[in-house]
A and B are shown apart, each in its own frame.
Chain A
Amino acid sequence: MSITLEKLTKRYGPTLAVDGLDLAVRPGRVTGFLGPNGAGKSTTMRMVLGLDRPTSGRALVGGRAYDSYKWPLREMGALLEAKAVHPGRTGRNHLLAMARSNAVPDRRVDEVLAVVGLTDVARRRSGTHSLGMGQRLGIAGALLADPPVLMLDEPVNGLDPDGVRWIRGLLRDLAAEGRTVFVSSHLLSEMQMTADHLVVIGHGKLLADAPMTEIMGGHATLEDAYYELTGSAA
């Protein structure tokens, strides 16, 4: 299953946040999603989830609009920016409600909590969680219904070095299982180690959509290649 964007455009008043993106994010590899602050990465992801309505164009998951699926969590798991859990609810209860919304068996909750290493912490109210625990809980949610597509907005944000390394392994494993993995990040050296393919945008426009090796070209680091693409000074 792929994520496909067709002339996807989003305008907020005078701001053109996403400007005619055409893109196919393919299975079996990790696709990194790069671009400066305000480039339109999160907006693109929200439109894929049907949270924001495109001004024009469309975003599809497996050839259909995400919100047309009866059990969308079984098609795509997503991690959005910022916290998505009520501070007064325990992480485990959050995942239970999430599982039940898509008729996923309750036992999956404990399975994914074990995968992200939150088994004990998840019985505490999420308001007491650290930033990294919150990220892990979000990732547990994305994995909950065992979806073939994963879309993660800055998943390493707030994770400690162990966590960063863990995410890297997780994403590579998920792609190796044949899943579609679409992940945004500002950590270029981390992305260099994780992604097989890169999509770079700036001011809502597509700047590059190519394999990592091609983007790297003759550059020593992804950082050098990135600055050349986005035109921002090092």
Chain B
Amino acid sequence: MRAAIRSEWTKLWTTRTVWWALLGAFVLMAAAAGQNAIYVENGDVTTASVAVMSVTIAQLAFVALAMLVMTGEYSAGTIRATLSWIPSRGRLLSAKIAVVSAVTLVTGVAVGLLGGVIASAIVDDSGSIAGDAFKIGIYLVLLGALATGLGAALRGPVVTLVVLLMTIVVIPPLLQLPDIAVLNGIADAFPGVAGGHFLYGDADPYPPLVGLLILAGWAALAVAAGWQVLTRRDA
């Protein structure tokens, strides 16, 4: 397992994808946090934490990175080579998730801190910068595992990204728009919404820890699906 992780670590840092994704994460957070802080300052929106609110935008860079670590193997045609080095599908998928998680945790916390610092320079932010940054890191790690697992299950970068965007960005707000209890309840079961309740520390509709567990459940499901497809289908 250590060898598989070393190999995947080496692969991660030897293409430009990771650099673009990490640069994107910081830029998106800075832009979103600046803009959201100004909205808050003007009284256009209220939020418990500008950094957490801005993760909605910054997370896209992390999701893209995580799903590319898996789907890039198919689009670049390298999956067969990779599996001939590391034939155990479980070990390969675990190594990829380990590498993505490590990078996401460190960068996610840093991005969260950046958002908090920018917000506190503009408004009186009620969130705790360090606490929120840590929660953002955890949230992004789980989202990254979800994206990696889904990438293994679907293989294509485009289809994977579309499904992720629909699930995280597009469908939940559409469900919440009419403000009907049933639809809101369904939206609350979506991974991004559940993760949001965890990040904001909401007591309603369920405790924050339940939000975290729902997100973790989705991530586990996606990883299990990816592992199944990797194991069952021809490479």
Contacts and interface: CB of A to CB of B under 8 A. Distances in A.
B83 to A, nearest CB: 6
Interface of B is mostly: helix
Interface in B66-92: 72, 76-78, 80-81, 83-88
Contact of A72 (B16, B77, B87, B235): B87
Given A83-B77, A86-B76, A103-B3, A49 B14 contact: no
Interface in A85-100: 85-90, 93-94, 96-98, 100
Contacts of A101: 3-4, 6-7, 85-86
A96 B11 CA distance: 9
B10 interface: yes
Given A72-B87, A90-B14, 17 more contacts: A49-B84, A49-B87, A51-B84, A69-B87, A73-B84, A80-B84, A82-B77, A88-B16, A88-B17, A89-B14, A89-B15, A97-B7, A97-B11, A97-B14, A101-B7, A101-B86, A102-B3
Interface residues of A, number: 33
A51 B3 contact: no
B80 A46 contact: yes
The 7 A-B pairs of least Cβ separation, nearest first, read A67-B87, A101-B7, A84-B81, A93-B14, A101-B85, A97-B10, A88-B15
Contacts of A141: 81
B78 A84 contact: yes
Interface in B1-21: 3-4, 6-8, 10-11, 14-17
Interface residues of B, number: 26
Contacts of B11: 86, 89, 93, 97
Nearest to A47: B234
A55 B3 CA distance: 31
Interface of B: 3-4, 6-8, 10-11, 14-17, 72, 76-78, 80-81, 83-88, 232, 234-235
A90 to B, nearest CB: 7
A30 B111 CA distance: 56
A82 to B, nearest CB: 6
A97 B80 CA distance: 14
A52 B235 contact: yes
A67 B88 contact: yes
Contacts of B80: 46, 49, 51, 80, 84
Nearest to B10: A97
Contact of B87 (A50, A80, A90, A93): A50
Given A52-B234, A86-B72, A86-B76, A102 B85 contact: yes
A66 interface: yes
- Pick from B4, B11, B16, B72 the residue with the most CB of A within 10 Å: B11
A141 B78 CA distance: 13
A144 B77 CA distance: 20
A89 B15 CA distance: 5
A100 B234 contact: no
A80 B234 CA distance: 15
B83 A51 contact: yes
Contacts of B88: 67
Contacts of B7: 97-98, 100-101
25 contacts: A46-B235, A49-B87, A50-B84, A51-B84, A51-B235, A67-B87, A69-B87, A84-B77, A85-B78, A86-B76, A88-B15, A88-B17, A89-B14, A89-B15, A93-B14, A96-B10, A96-B14, A97-B8, A97-B11, A98-B81, A98-B85, A100-B6, A100-B10, A101-B4, A102-B85
A71 B86 CA distance: 8
B118 to A, nearest CB: 32
A155 to B, nearest CB: 15
